[in-house]
Chains A and B, each alone.
Chain A
Amino acid sequence: MKPVEYNTGKVPNWCPGCGNFAIWNSIKKALSNLEIEPHKLALVSGIGCSGKMVNYVRSYALQTLHGRTMPVATGIKLANPDMTVLVNGGDGDGYGMGVGHLIHAIRRNINVTYIVHHNKVYGLTTGQAAPTSPEGTITKSTPFGVVDATINPLILAMAAGATFVARGYTGESEHLTDLIMQGINHKGFALIDVFQPCVTFGGQYKYEYYDQRVVKMDKMPSHDEAVALAADQEKLSIGLYSQYERAPYEARHPEISRTVEMKDVSKLIEAYI
Chain B
Amino acid sequence: MEKTFVWKVGGPAGFGITTLGPVFAKILKDCGYFIHGYLEYPSLIRGGYNSYQMVFGKTPVTAPKKRIDLYIALDDVCFERETFDDDTIVIGDFDNLKKADGIKGVKVNVPLKKIVEDLNGKDIMRNTAALGASVAALGLPEDVMAAVVAASYPGKISKPNVDAAQAGFSHCKPMIKLEKTDNGSCKKAPVMTGNEAVSIGAIRAGVTFFSTYPMTPASSILHYLAKEARDYHVTVKHAEDEIAGILMAIGAAHAGARAMTGTSGGGFALMNEGFGLAAITEIPIVVALSQRPGPATGMPTWTEQADLQYALHASQGEFLRAIYSPADLDEAYKFTIDAFNLAEKYQIPVIVLLDKFLSESHFMAHDMDTNYGTMDRGLIFKGNPEKPYEHFKRYEETENGVPTRSIPGTPGGLFVAGSNEHDKTGFVIDSADNRVYQTDRRFKKQPFVAAEMPHPYLIGKEDAPLTFVCFGSMKQVLLEAMKYDDRFNFIYFPAVHPLEWEKIADLLKGRNLVAFENNKTAQLRALIAENTGIYIQKTCLKYDGRPFFTEEVVEYVGEALK
Residues of A within 8 A of B (CB): 1, 5, 8, 10, 37-40, 42, 44, 47, 52, 54-55, 58-65, 68, 70-80, 82-83, 100-101, 104, 253-266, 268-270, 272-273
Nearest A residue (CB) for B237: A78
Known: A55-B416, A59-B414, A266-B370. 4 other contacts (CB 8 A): A42-B408, A62-B416, A71-B239, A273-B188
Is B419 part of the contact surface with A, judged by Cβ < 8 Å?
Answer: yes
Q: Complex Cα distance A260/B232, Å?
A: 11
Q: Does B389 lie within 8 Å of A38, measured CB to CB?
A: yes
Query: Which B residues contact A (CB, under 8 angstroms)?
Result: 187-192, 196, 200, 203-206, 208-209, 211, 228-230, 232-237, 239-241, 243-245, 247-259, 273-274, 277, 281, 365, 368, 370, 373-375, 377, 388-389, 391, 406, 408-420, 426-428
Contact of A72 among B205, B234, B248, B428 (CB under 8 A): B248
A-chain residues with CB within 8 Å of residue B188 when the two chains form the complex:
273
- Give the residue of A58, A68, A80, A100 whose beta carbon is less than 8 angstroms from that of B247: A68
Known: A104-B240, A265-B203, A265-B204. A76 touches B416 (CB 8 A): no
Residues in B neighbouring A73, C-beta threshold 8 A: 251
Chain B residue contacts of A44, Cβ below 8 A: 251
Which residues of A are found within 8 Å of B258, using beta-carbon distances?
260
Supposing A64-B419, A75-B209, A83-B409 touch, asked if A259 and B427 sit within 8 A by C-beta, the answer is no
- B244 near A71 (CB under 8 angstroms)? yes
Q: Which of A8, A54, A77, A263 contacts B391 (CB 8 A)?
A: A8
B419 touches A63 (CB 8 A): yes
The smallest C-beta distance from A144 to any residue of chain B, in angstroms, reads 31
- Docked complex Cα distance between A198 and B200 (Å): 52
Residue in A55, A65, A82, A263 whose beta carbon sits within 8 Å of that of B273 in the complex: A65
Residue of A nearest to B406 (CB): A60
Decide yes or no: A76 and B252 within 8 Å by CB, A61-B415, A257-B208 being known contacts.
Answer: yes
Residues from chain B with Cβ under 8 Å of A76 in the complex: 251-252, 254-255, 408
Cβ-defined contact, A79 with B190, below 8 A: no
Closest beta carbon of chain B to A182's beta carbon, Å: 24
- In the complex, A268 Cα to B373 Cα: how many Å? 16
Instruction: Report B-chain residues with C-beta under 8 Å of the C-beta of A80.
Output: 255-256, 408-409
Task: Determine the residue in chain A with the shortest Cβ distance to B29.
Answer: A273
By Cβ-Cβ distance, the 9 closest A-B pairs, closest first, are A75-B251, A257-B233, A60-B408, A272-B190, A79-B255, A71-B244, A79-B252, A75-B248, A71-B247
Instruction: Check B230 against A255 for contact (C-beta < 8 Å).
Output: yes
Give Cα A54 to B408, complex, Å.
Answer: 14
Q: What separation, in Å, do the CA atoms of A269 and B234 have in the docked complex?
A: 18
Cα of A259 to Cα of B235 in the assembled complex, Å: 12
Docked-complex contact A60 and B389, CB < 8 angstroms: no
Name the distance in Å between B268's Cβ and chain A's nearest Cβ.
Answer: 16
CA distance A108 to B411 in the complex (A): 30
- A-B contacts at CB below 8 angstroms, number: 206
**Is B251 in contact with A39, judged by CB distance below 8 angstroms?**
no
Chain B minimum-CB-distance residue to A60: B408
| CB-CB nearest in chain A for B417 | A62
Contact status A64-B247, CB under 8 Å: yes
Question: In the assembled complex, which residues on chain B have CB atoms less than 8 Å from the CB atom of A100?
Answer: 240-241
Q: Given A39-B410, A265-B370, check contact A255 B256 (CB 8 Å).
A: no
Return the chain A residue nearest B233 by Cβ. A257
Q: Give min CB distance, B191 to chain A, whole Å.
A: 6
In Å, the complex CA distance between A52 and B412 comes to: 22
- The reply to whether A39 and B412 form a contact with Cβ atoms under 8 Å apart is yes
Nearest chain B CB to A228 CB, angstrom units? 30
Give the shortest distance, in Å, between B287 (CB) and chain A (any CB): 15
Determine how close the nearest CB of chain A comes to the CB of B344; give it in whole angstroms.
Answer: 9
B267 to chain A, nearest CB (A): 14
Contact of A39 among B209, B241, B370, B408 (CB under 8 A): B408
Q: Give Cα A54–Cα B427 distance, bound, in whole angstroms.
A: 8
A95 to chain B minimum Cβ distance, whole angstroms, is 16
With both beta carbons as reference points, the residue of chain B lying nearest to A46 in the complex is identified as: B419
Q: Are A61 and B251 in contact (CB under 8 A)?
A: no
Contact at B206–A39, with CB atoms within 8 Å? no
In this complex, the member of B236, B248, B273, B274 whose beta carbon has the largest number of chain A beta carbons within 10 angstroms is B248
Q: Mind listing 24 A-B residue pairs with CB under 8 Å? A: A37-B389, A39-B412, A62-B416, A63-B419, A72-B247, A72-B250, A75-B249, A78-B237, A79-B209, A80-B255, A80-B408, A101-B240, A258-B256, A258-B257, A259-B208, A260-B206, A260-B257, A262-B204, A263-B206, A265-B200, A266-B370, A272-B192, A272-B365, A273-B190
The distance from the CB of B22 to the nearest CB of chain A, in whole angstroms, is 9
The answer to whether residues A260 and B377 also contact, given A37-B389, A72-B250, A269-B200 and a CB cut-off of 8 A, is: yes
> What's the Cα separation between A266 and B190 when bound, in Å?
11
In the assembly, what is the distance between CA of A83 and CA of B420, in Å? 23
B224 CB, min distance to chain A CBs, angstroms: 9
A99 to B274, CA, bound (A): 17
Residue of chain B at shortest CB distance from A256: B235
Contacts of B254 in A (CB 8 A): 62, 72, 75-76, 79
Contacts of A259 in B (CB 8 A): 208, 233
Q: Give Cα A73–Cα B391 distance, bound, in whole angstroms.
A: 21
Contacts of B419 in A (CB 8 A): 47, 63-65
CB nearest neighbor in B for A43? B416
**CB neighbours of B245 from chain A (8 A):** 71
Quick one: which of B192, B209, B233, B413 contacts A78, CB cutoff 8 A?
B209
The answer on a CB contact under 8 Å between B414 and A38 is yes
Could you tell me if B251 and A74 are in contact, using CB atoms closer than 8 angstroms? yes
Chain B's closest residue to A6 (CB) is B389
Q: Is the Cβ of A263 less than 8 Å from the Cβ of B209?
A: no
Asked whether B206 lies within 8 Å of A71 as measured between CB atoms, the reply is no
Could you tell me the distance in whole angstroms from the C-beta of A229 to the nearest C-beta in chain B? 29
A134 and B273 alpha carbons, distance in the complex (Å): 30
Q: How far is the CA of A59 from the CA of B255 in the complex (A)?
A: 13
Report chain A residues within 8 Å CB of B365.
Answer: 269, 272
Please indicate the chain A residues that have their CB under 8 angstroms from the CB of B252 in the complex.
75-76, 78-79
Contacts of B203 in A (CB 8 A): 263, 265, 268
With beta carbons under 8 angstroms apart, the residue of A52, A60, A70, A78 that contacts B235 is A78
Bound CA span A44–B416, Å: 9
Complex interface: chain A residues within 8 A of B257 (CB) = 75, 79, 258, 260
Q: Is the CB of A262 within 8 A of B205?
A: yes
Q: Which of A58, A61, A253 has the most CB of B within 10 A?
A: A61
**A133: min CB distance to chain B, Å:** 25
